[in-house]
Every structure is written in structure tokens, then in C-alpha cells.
A and B are shown apart, each in its own frame.
Chain A
Amino acid sequence: MTDDLLSYTIDPALQPDEREDIRTFLAKCGLDYEIGVEAFVVFRRKRHLVACAGLEKNIVKCTAIDPEMRGEALGLRLLTELIHLAQDRGHSHLFLYTKPDCVEFFRSCGFYLLAEVPGLVALMENTPIGVKAYCDRLKRLRRPGAVIGAVVMNANPFTRGHRYLVERAAAACDWLHVFVVAEDVSLISYRDRYALVSSGIADIPRVTLHHGSEYMVSRATFSAYFFKEKGIVGDCCTAIDLLIFRDHIAPALGITHRFVGTEPFCPTTFKYNADMRHWLRGDVSPSPAVEVVEIDRTECEDVPISASEVRRLLAADDFARIRRLVPATTLELLETKYRAPRSSAA
């Protein structure tokens, strides 16, 4: 009792023939080949590719089944192989973007819905207790009050602008929850960013500092944020992240307001702030609305302070100007650990 399906794993970087086959197959299924995929599971019948699924770290991508072979059996085998492949590669917690009409199929593969933008996209994770367990932990940190605020910051690096935002937000709330984006793909490591925020806001009362998570401005919930230099910002890529915040995180902590700095420089963050009103306050979710409060950035010599400006100055080794934008702890860290190597002539 066997069948004639062959399944195996490929590395698209090392197997160009297979990669091109997958590209052709995906195109036939109306999907794009995504260059970040590090490993594929493929199924072949005779010599024909009939199904594939890829992994970029812990995110499932490029999942397709030959239209002629659609039926649950092959899909379940495909996802089984992919989940085992991910496990072998050290990823047990997986995320998957799909069209809303495929949610039911992926549900049968052990994936659970995190957020859905009707008609456009859904994000799922492969555990029934992922976001729930995370929110259960958050619930223990709930604070009483009528106005409970939240700030989510990458702090890459922490500037006087971040400090100003937290000060102003905290003053407007009964309690403020500050989250540091945990995804470790920024110039400044997560460890350093968290430490700088921690020391930078330690003296502000009625504030809880939280570690970020995969459910908040992460590669999974908001991959465009981390590739913003490429200028790829889809219409719904912010929606998923914001809906998870509204549906899961805000109710866990009783958050009523989310505070953001105005964004004059970075187009991705600018769009994120604009979308925030729609997805956190609009009639797009059964969860309670979260008010969005934009706070004007504090300025230095008429130029708003931003982390991207600090990074630009860091690349130019202009510490004289960095000094004016960041607190002492950040300055010291940048000087000792992140200073760009000078050319020998300088």
C-alpha cells in the first residue's frame, strides 16, 4: 500500500533547477516566488511538481498544490512534512499568511487564526495556545485605571524623543505599558535596546516596561517594517499587526489608548501611524476601540528627533550631533559598541 508521490526537501540557494521548477509551478498557481525562502518541501508525482511549501525562518510561505490534486489529503501531507522540516531547523512556532478562504484548510493542519482582514489576508499560528498563553501572562500585569496607555517602540536606538513620548504619555494615563520590539534584526541588538529603554525611563512613574513578542511588530506580524528600506509597504501589512493588538493584547491589559510620535521621516512608520486610527478605532473588529494619540516629536534645533536620524549620524560618525539627540546611556553605548570603523586616513 504505497502511492507514487515522492517528497523531499530542497535548498533553493543550492538547487537552481529545483528553484526554477518551483517558480514556474507557483506562477501556474497564481503565486509569486518569494526570495527569502530558505527551504522548500516539494512533492512530485512521476516527474511533475504537484505541491510545495517554503520556510523563511518560522514563517510559512509559497504554499501551493496543483489545482488538479486539490483535496485535503495532499495538503495535509505537505503541511506535515513542512512542520517536521521546520522542527528540524529549530522552528517550532510557525506563522502563516493566507487568503481568508484558505483559513479552514489550514485550520485542519493545526494552524489557528490570529487576525483576519476580510477578503484580503489572514495570519495564523500553529498552536492553539500561542497568543492565548501570551495574553494570559500579560493579564497578570494588568493595572487598575480608566485610562490605560500603551507605547510600542523599536528604540533603535533610544533617543530623547522616545523619552519625551513616554513622559507625555505616562502623564496622560493612569498607567502606561511600554513594549520594546523584540525582533532582533535592527542595527542595535534587542538586548541593548531593551536595556537603554529600561534605564532611560526608569524614573517615570506608573509605567511598566514589557519585552516585545512575536505578536507585536515582529517579522511575523509586520514583516514590511523590517524591510522598509525596500519601500514595500502593502495595504494590509499593518492591519494584521494592529488587529492582533486590538483583539488580543489591548483586552489582556485593558489598554484604552495607544500613543505614537508623529512621523516626519520614515514612510513605513508614517503609514503605520495613519493606519493605526483605522484598525484600532474603526468599525473593523468586535473588540473595544483603542484611541490613538499622536504626540508631536520633541525637536532639536527645529528638527524632530528620530532614531533614523541618529543612525544616519552614526554612519557619518557625527557624534557631536548625536550627543544632542540621545541620553547619556545611549551615547556611551553607541560610542563603545556601534561606532562605524574609521578609515585610516581620518
Chain B
Amino acid sequence: MKIVREALAGTLESSDLMVRITPRDGELAIVLQSEVMHQFGARIEAVARECLAKLGITEALVVIEDKGALDCVVAARVQTAVSRAVDEWTADWSALS
């Protein structure tokens, strides 16, 4: 799927994260800020990258403001942002687990 518009998902509240995804040509860039950057920064980015890969997103700018979210919340927010940023959401549920 292709990111065709900017989209936002999530909140700034504790245990959540806000994800902003923007169209970008030629690269997949993830900019992560987290309250738990030190312990979990790499982990959060890995979860986000895996989600994007499963959805076939190879070009986008993804800015994440994390508030200590669990992996599954990270996945849910990234997927929601993508679903709002594409023209046609064709993901199979099995690609989202």
C-alpha cells in the first residue's frame, strides 16, 4: 500500500503513543521520541518497522511520540495511522497480528 496523505493516530496519554505518518519518496524514515527511549526505544522502532513491512509500506515518514505504550498498542496505532493515510486499505487481518 502507498501512503498518499498525512494521517494521525493515537493520543499523548500515558501508555499510548501518537503516530503521524506522511508521504515521502524513496525512503522509510522513523523518528521516535519516547519517555522510555533508553530501555525501549529500539524495541518500539522494531515493532513499528515490522508493522510497516507487513503492510508493504516502504516509503513514508513516521513520527512517533511514545508515552510508554505496550508493543500491541504501538502496532495498533501504527496500523491505524497507515489505514488512514492510504486510499484503499486492503490489509488482511492475519497481517496485523
A–B proximity contact (CB within 8 A): yes
Beyond A110-B18, A128-B63, whether A83 also contacts B33 by CB under 8 A is no
Q: Is B96 an interface residue (CB 8 A)?
A: no
Number of A-B contacts defined by CB within 8 Å: 39
Question: CA of A110 to CA of B65 in the docked complex: distance in angstroms?
Answer: 6
| A73 contacts B by Cβ under 8 Å | yes
Name which of B12, B63, B67 has the most chain A CB atoms within 10 A of its CB. B12
A137 at the interface (CB under 8 A from B): no
A233 within 8 A of B: no
Determine whether A109 belongs to the interface, using a CB cutoff of 8 Å to chain B. yes
Q: A108-B12, A110-B65 known; 14 other A-B pairs, CB under 8 Å?
A: A77-B11, A77-B12, A80-B11, A80-B12, A80-B18, A84-B8, A92-B20, A92-B22, A109-B12, A127-B20, A127-B63, A128-B63, A129-B31, A129-B63
Instruction: Specify which chain B residues have a CB less than 8 angstroms from the CB of A73 in the assembled complex.
Output: 13-14
The answer, yes or no, to whether B59 is at the interface (CB within 8 Å) is no
- A77 / chain B contacts, CB cutoff of 8 Å: 11-13
Inside 8 A of A80's CB, which chain B residues have their CB?
A: 11-13, 18
On whether the beta carbons of A92 and B6 are closer than 8 Å, the reply is yes
**A-contacting residues, B21-64, CB 8 Å:** 22, 31, 33, 63
Question: B33 contacts A128, CB within 8 Å?
Answer: yes
18 example contacts (A-B, Cβ-Cβ < 8 A) are as follows: A73-B14, A77-B11, A77-B12, A77-B13, A80-B11, A80-B13, A83-B8, A83-B12, A83-B18, A84-B8, A87-B7, A87-B8, A92-B6, A92-B20, A108-B12, A110-B33, A110-B65, A128-B33
Q: B24 CB to closest chain A CB, in angstroms? A: 11
Sort chain B's interface into a size bin. 10 to 19
Interface status of A79 (Cβ within 8 A of chain B): yes
| In the complex, chain B residues whose CB is within 8 Å of the CB of A295 | none
Return the chain B residue nearest A127 by Cβ.
B63
A76 close to B12 (CB less than 8 A): yes
Contacts of B12 in A (CB 8 A): 76-77, 79-80, 83, 108-110
CA distance A92 to B5 in the complex (A): 11
A237 to chain B, nearest CB (A): 28
A92 with B8: in contact, given A77-B13, A83-B18, A110-B65 (CB under 8 Å)? yes
Residue contact A76 to B31, C-beta cutoff 8 Å: no
Residues of B bordering A, CB below 8 Å = 6-8, 11-14, 18, 20, 22, 31, 33, 63, 65, 67
Q: How far is the CA of A92 from the CA of B84 in the complex (A)?
A: 14
Number of interface residues of A (CB under 8 A): 15
Say how far B19's CB is from chain A's closest CB, in angstroms.
Answer: 11
CB atoms of B13 and A76 under 8 A apart: yes
**B-chain residues with CB within 8 Å of residue A84 when the two chains form the complex:** 8
The 3 A-B residue pairs with the shortest CB-CB distance in the complex, in nearest-first order: A110-B65, A80-B11, A76-B12
Instruction: Tell me the chain A residues, 173-205 only, with Cβ under 8 Å from chain B.
Output: none
Which chain A positions have C-beta within 8 A of B65?
110
Complex Cα distance, B14 from A109, in Å, reads: 11
Q: A128 touching B8 by the CB < 8 A rule?
A: no
Closest to A84 in B: B8
Q: Residue-by-residue, is A60-84 near B (CB-CB < 8 Å gives 1, otherwise 0)?
A: 0000000000000100110110011
CB contacts (< 8 Å) of A109 on chain B: these are 12
CA–CA, A92 and B14, complex, Å? 22
Shortest C-beta distance, A160 to chain B (Å), equals 42
In angstroms, how far is the closest chain B Cβ from the Cβ of A39?
Answer: 16
Give Cα A77 to B67, complex, Å.
13
Residues 40-99 (chain A) with a chain B CB within 8 angstroms: 73, 76-77, 79-80, 83-84, 87, 92
Complex alpha-carbon distance, A129 and B63, angstroms? 9
Q: How far is the CA of A92 from the CA of B85 in the complex (A)?
A: 13
